[in-house]
Chains A and B, each alone.
Chain A
């Protein structure tokens, strides 16, 4: 547990030192500006689905950027053996660092768009489940890329379709919350998605990082 917490701290500080997180914050600020301008424009003004759509698309791309920067930082698979004992703790530390950055981004995006005003609890649950799924898929697939040097550019082709279900469930949950419908089905969908993609690395990570 201590090793995992230490590694997560290293990941987060490394992100700050290498200015990866700064880049992400800049991207996030840009997206928030787009959302705000959409909100004020006359023809799209206040359209709930637009705001929700922009939030989830932003989270999808931020998730891909963050998980990629965390894992592709490891230039050689052999470097992973530096983490004494479990490779799983390396994996989870990268997952947690990406999750925390994404949680910060989600907080800013939801606050900027004013979506949390009416349903704070619902928005929180929805965003937490959503970013967990996005980060879990991203971390698993970028972990695959560690031992496959030339495969990096092909990754988005696999990651985007896999993350679409969580994107759809997240958007539908938010839509249901704000239009007074029952979001239970979509929330259950997100929970199932998260459970699957949090369990898969436990099964596969040692096979994937076999050097």
Chain B
């Protein structure tokens, strides 16, 4: 418990520093003014979502190879958090887009691909909820997660492959931002990843408890049935 509280304290401190840097430390954008500050949270959430979905993919492949339910617990927990971070990406993107482009929503390739990603992993979570058998749920969910993950690299590449109004920040030639802004962005990303790690630990513990309770109930039911027989 003490160790977990320590982790939470570190992440809270990181978040406070990142927020201070995002809202105070970084300079205003020459064109967009203070609204640029939304971008740091947007980018942090996007990186955390990408990491979360990648963990889901790796854990799903791990489950299919080993049939160990521990992997499925990781995949489910990470998909939940990834979907949450994607919601943050969409929300902050909508707010930033209103200021930068003058519209709340546009069918730009990047925005459409992100909305699709959110729908796919929401579908994945809904699908999981509709299945009772843990073993079967894990098997089918692993396949769904692998299929849904196809949209993650696609989402990343949309602004490079198609004509998009979404800004390209990271290129092979470097980061297209002022150094002080890069610091704010990096801190925001680290803080969001910290939130992901801590939240992941909590969700994995909860999922494991849920699984153990179901198993204990099943064993008890089996015991009662065999006594009856």
Q: Which residues of A contact B (CB under 8 A)?
A: 140, 144, 147-148, 150-151, 153-154, 157-158, 160-162, 164-165, 168, 185, 196, 200, 204, 207-208, 210
What residues on A are CB-neighbors of B127 within 8 Å? 151, 154, 157-158
Chain A facing B: main interface SS: helix
- In the complex, the answer to whether B147 meets A157 with C-beta atoms within 8 Å is no
- In the complex, the answer to whether A157 meets B122 with C-beta atoms within 8 Å is yes
Interface residues in B119-133 (C-beta closer than 8 Å to A):
119-120, 122-124, 126-127, 130-132
Q: Which of A154, A164, A165, A196 contacts B123 (CB 8 A)?
A: A154
- In the complex, the answer to whether B139 meets A207 with C-beta atoms within 8 Å is yes
Residue of A nearest to B124 (CB): A158
Residue of B nearest to A159 (CB): B123
Contact bitstring B148-159, A, C-beta under 8 A = 1, else 0: 101000100000
Q: Which residues of B contact A (CB under 8 A)?
A: 64, 112, 116, 119-120, 122-124, 126-127, 130-132, 136-137, 139-140, 143-144, 147-148, 150, 154, 161-162
What residues on B are CB-neighbors of A165 within 8 Å? 116, 154
Given A144-B144, A151-B130, A165-B116; 18 other pairs, CB 8 A cutoff = A140-B147, A144-B143, A147-B136, A148-B131, A148-B136, A150-B131, A151-B131, A154-B123, A154-B127, A158-B120, A158-B127, A158-B148, A161-B119, A161-B120, A162-B147, A164-B116, A165-B154, A208-B139
- In the complex, the answer to whether B139 meets A210 with C-beta atoms within 8 Å is yes
What residues on B are CB-neighbors of A158 within 8 Å? 120, 123-124, 127, 144, 148
Give bound CA distance, A164 to B123, whole Å: 14
B156 to chain A, nearest CB (A): 15
- In the complex, the answer to whether B143 meets A204 with C-beta atoms within 8 Å is yes
Which among B124, B143, B161 has the highest number of chain A CB atoms within 10 Å? Answer: B143
- In the complex, the answer to whether A154 meets B130 with C-beta atoms within 8 Å is yes
